[in-house]
Amino acid sequence: MAKEMLTGNAAAAWGVRLAEVDYIPAYPITPQTEIIETIAKWISDGEMDAGFVTMDSEHSMVTAAGAASATGARTFTTTSSQGLMYGFEMLFTVAGWRVPLVMVNVSRGLSAPITLGPDHNDILALRDTGFLQIHCETCQEVLDSVLMAYRLAEDDRVLLPLMVNMDGFFLSFTREAVEVPDVEKVRSFLPEYQPEHAFFRAGQPMAQGVAVLGGEFYSYFKYQMHLASQNALEVYREVSDDFERIFGRKYGTIDEYMMEDAEYVLVMTNSFSTLGKAAVKRARENGIKAGLLRPRFLRPFPEADIRNALKGKKAVAVIDQNISVGKGGIIYSEMASCLYNENSRPLMLSFIGGLGGKNISQEEFDLIFEKMIHAEDSGIVGLPHLLYTKKEWEGIKKLKEIAGRQ
């Protein structure tokens, strides 16, 4: 099948079109607006049959999307950064409704200071909402993940909303060769949604989103959400196998690159992992047995797959493109809790890099490998590192001088 040059945003739109979504409430925000512009044009031109409504805010948008999903409509919406934060309250509510809404988040750093470059504090702020999360490296992966997201979220063993994430600008506006699947093949993988849990029928009234008074009832429903999220890992294996059988592409809960004999491992997510893979190749040329592990799922967290992949490794460097102010890297903490009870576990180093889209240079990757090897030789891990080059430091000093600050 021929491939098309698509941006990450266009790939997301194609995923929505091929999923034959019924309803899209939308609100624009950079850098995701291209997704809804593309879908709106297709609907206007008669190439896509779906309802499309521009709402008055992201809060209204998420509310409308969750409500539509609760009537049994296959629903999609998308946002980014501050918009995601504006709809934050409703994300918990929609997840509690147990409806299979699929959203795309195009990651962008959070204010203040305001920026347009990507990092992951927006999407990682959602990790306790009940939304499942898939993080993508390439445009093809974005399209494919939207299709897999509906299949997974609509499974009656899961019934939780799902967020597909990509990096703003670095992937949303990057054109790559993408295979757009045939719609009949997609229908064989993702049949029409037949809701059995939440739907709207005049002859069968039901109450949804009811209040529960008493912690024992609240605890029951929250634990059911947790169990459903854990079920998603097993259901995903079936989804992934079917996807590979029909389309020939395989996606696990984690992506492993040169990991088989690796001793020193980088852990990265989303599109900056391509920089990490290039660094692994260079390290291999210099005689370092390097590898890279990219978690695709962050909720549920694929603990068993990660523990298995890191068995026998000497050192792991987690590069967090986020910062939990007052604690450090979010994924480092998740990885540490995942490995803590292992009898034999690798040394773990924490690096913060790529905030607001800051480049991670070859020099910085070289430093990371040096730190891992030194930690293995000495047994001393050291403090977390903020990746920042001398040239960048000189640049900020000049700006401070201009502002009259030392």
Name the 3-class secondary structure at 337: helix
DSSP state of 71: T
Q: Is the dihedral of CA 236, 239, 245, 249 positive or negative?
A: negative
Q: Given this model, what pLDDT does residue 382 score?
A: 86
Residues in the chain, overall count? 406
Name the 3-class secondary structure at 242: helix
Calpha distance 91→258 (Å, rounded): 37
Whose structure tokens read 């499974």?
155
β partners of residue 390: none
For the domain bounded by 3-247, which CATH number is listed? 3.40.50.970
pLDDT, one tens digit per residue, over 292-335 is 999 999 999 999 999 999 999 999 999 999 999 999 999 999 99
Q: 11: pLDDT confidence band, cut at 50, 70 and 90?
A: very high
Q: 377: pLDDT confidence band, cut at 50, 70 and 90?
A: very high
Region 279-289: mean pLDDT is: 98
Q: Given this model, what pLDDT does residue 306 score?
A: 98
- CATH 3.40.50.970, the chain: domain bounds: 3-247
Percentages helix, strand, coil for the chain, rounded to the nearest 5?
45, 15, 40
Residues with Cβ within 8 Å of residue 250, at least 6 apart in sequence: 240, 243, 244
Angle (nearest 5°) at CA 363 between 370 and 289: 45
pLDDT, one tens digit per residue, over 165-202 is 999 999 999 999 999 999 999 999 999 999 988 898 88
Say if residue 286's pLDDT is above 90.
Answer: yes
Q: Given this model, what pLDDT does residue 337 score?
A: 97
Say if residue 2's pLDDT is above 80.
Answer: no
Q: Given this model, what pLDDT does residue 178 score?
A: 98
Calpha distance 87→91 (Å, rounded): 7
Region 214-219: mean pLDDT is: 96
CA nearest to 104, candidates 167, 175, 197 = 167
Contact, 17 vs 48, CB < 8 A? yes
Region 365-375: mean pLDDT is: 98
Q: Retrieve residue 262's tokens.
A: 């690796």
Give, in order, the Cα–Cα distances in Å from 389 to each of 1, 115, 172, 364, 375.
44, 20, 26, 7, 21
Q: Given this model, what pLDDT does residue 16 score?
A: 98
Q: Given this model, what pLDDT does residue 406 score?
A: 73
Q: Helices in 286-361 by DSSP H: which ranges?
A: 303-309, 330-339
Cα torsion at 73, 76, 82, 86 (round to 10°)? 0
Beta strands in 254-326 (DSSP E): 254-257, 264-267, 290-295, 297-299, 315-320
- CATH 3.40.50.920, the chain: domain bounds: 254-393
Q: Retrieve residue 16's tokens.
A: 């929505």
Q: 207: pLDDT confidence band, cut at 50, 70 and 90?
A: confident
211 burial level (CB within 10 Å; 0-12, 13-18, 19+): exposed
Q: Given this model, what pLDDT does residue 312 score?
A: 97
Say if residue 152's pLDDT is above 90.
Answer: yes
Among the four given CATH numbers 3.90.110.10, 3.40.640.10, 3.40.50.920, 3.40.120.10, the one describing domain 254-393: 3.40.50.920
DSSP string over 183-195: HHHHHHHSPPP--
pLDDT, one tens digit per residue, over 95-126 is 999 999 999 999 999 999 999 999 999 999 99
pLDDT, one tens digit per residue, over 84-96 is 999 999 999 999 9
Q: Given this model, what pLDDT does residue 84 score?
A: 98
Q: Given this model, what pLDDT does residue 197 score?
A: 86
Say if residue 395's pLDDT is above 80.
Answer: yes
Q: Given this model, what pLDDT does residue 405 score?
A: 87
Q: Given this model, what pLDDT does residue 304 score?
A: 98
Say if residue 208's pLDDT is above 90.
Answer: no
What is the rounded average pLDDT for all residues in the chain? 97
Say if residue 369's pLDDT is above 80.
Answer: yes
Q: Is the dihedral of CA 350, 356, 358, 359 positive or negative?
A: positive
Region 23-41: mean pLDDT is: 98
Q: Phi, psi at residue 309, to the nearest 5°?
A: -70, -30
